[in-house]
Homo-oligomer: A and B are copies of this chain.
Amino acid sequence: MHCRCCKDRAILAKKPEKTNKDYMAKEVTPRAENYSQWYNDLIVKAELAEQSAVRGCMVIKPYGYAIWEKMQRILDDKFKATGVQNAYFPLFIPKSFFSREAEHVSGFAKECAVVTHHRLMNSPDGKGVVVDPEAKLEEELIVRPTSETIIWSTYKNWINSWRDLPIMCNQWCNVVRWEMRTRLFLRTAEFLWQEGHTAHATAEEAIQEAQTMVQVYADFARNTMALPVIVGHKSPGERFAGALDTLTIEAMMQDGKALQAGTSHFLGQNFAKSFDVQYADREGKLQYVWATSWGVSTRLMGALIMAHGDDNGLVLPPALAPIQVVMVPIFKTEEEHQAILDRMYAIKKELEALGHSVKVDDRDTLRPGFKFAEWELKGVPVRLAMGPRDMEAGTVEVHRRDTLEKQSMSVDGLAAHIHALMDDIQANIYNKALSFREANIEKCDDWEEFKAKIQTGKFLLCHWDGTVETEQKIKDETKATIRCIPVDSVVCEEEGRDIYSGKPSHARVVFAIAY
């Protein structure tokens, strides 16, 4: 569609301007060329995060952190609506706590940050500081990789009778897992997350809580992140260390790989037994307490980037965009600039009254084309551009980040239009991701076909005999894992034969190669 704004931009034609494409080509590696590099480019160029001076630890930059803050706020409200309260537990866990729950120690305690000393001293050679050997801790402390152990050692003191239950606490905090190979947001030595830990009188209540929370996550993924997810149970081999059941939300990235975006665990009485947490029931009989835990992390940032981004940069769903509308003035003279800015600030006020976050890009040292590319890179859902001809005609150019379409519109009724457009964009981003997943998920009943297709980036719905052995063999041969035994979104219960062993199976599960 031809619009006035393009003519306005011709004003600047004297100095040849780089097009968006030139700019972007230089900045962001196309997905088709190198998906992994594309992902990294987006994070760094859009100023979401960067590597720090500390191996495997990232710096989350203001623009990235603003997205994370939006995620936090929305999730936090959802948690609280179910009766969860926030609390804070210590960063450090005594080493001996990890020996209490046998599976948990093998799952978590191995690769972790260990604090052994509590003091530095001036180096005897006068150069810098060294660890003071006199200041060795009696018992080493582990920087929490997850907090079940420290929290259940605390709950022991909070729980005496059935009247004290349920306890439903969540904490927003940092955790550390000494990962050998790290990637920004997806796998970092330190990451930010929330971990909910609940204590219940009965198994039924705890199972219900684990289900409630995975649905909170699914709802958040779908409606806020515009991310279609499959909810399901993990196979025993993929469960959280110490859980009787792990529920997960699994998303498909644009390379067809799976990303586990959140998990909710039914922990049975394992931690209650390890930390001797019992309550007196209504008959006065002592019973072990039933537990859940559930968490999502800054990994969600990785999912958001990889699910929706394109070769121009991020594509942010309006519900999470720190800036929902950016306005770029196109001008030749300072008088024009000022007149356009005045009109833009008036529009900004209207949009803000409707609850939108708006930025007027009034920087006078940068050209419009540069600004266009920058805000596309940063994924701002809607861009408004206005030049002298627009001023005369009472129009504005409206550009959608998700479709890259632009349209000239009257300034009259603009705010209401943009308001409605946000919902359209949110829905469109979701539907696009959903269509992509639907095009890349299929039933598969032939092992040779499985081996070929799984490498091309597919979710394959296959029969599985339910054994750890088969699961492991498939993983060894193809790197594919069972992402989940789905409870929604895709077909599940159906009689058939295991794709690998040929043994009888009652349901299909989702196989994919995962991040």
Contact = CB atoms under 8 A, between A and B. Distances in A.
A92 B173 contact: no
Contact of A65 (B62, B87, B121): B87
A45 B5 CA distance: 66
Contacts of A347: none
Interface in A67-109: 68-69, 85-99, 105, 109
Contacts of A59: 87-90, 154
A419 interface: no
Interface in A157-183: 157, 163, 169, 173-174, 176, 178
A65 B88 contact: yes
Contact of A98 (B69, B117, B120, B127): B120
Contacts of A154: 50, 52-53, 59
Interface residues of A, number: 64
Nearest to A95: B129
Contacts of A18: none
B113 A92 contact: yes
B87 A190 contact: no
A192 interface: yes
Nearest to A117: B114
A111 B110 CA distance: 27
A61 B53 CA distance: 34
Contacts of A90: 52-54, 57-59, 190
Contact of A114 (B85, B93, B120, B157): B120
Contacts of A249: none
Contacts of A414: none
Interface in A319-362: none
Contacts of A192: 88
A21 interface: no
Q: Which residue, A90, A121, A127, has most C-beta atoms of chain B within 10 A?
A: A90
A116 B136 CA distance: 11
A174 B176 contact: no
A274 interface: no
A134 to B, nearest CB: 12
Interface of A: 50, 52-54, 57-62, 65-66, 68-69, 85-99, 105, 109-121, 127-129, 131, 140-143, 150, 153-154, 157, 163, 169, 173-174, 176, 178, 190, 192, 365
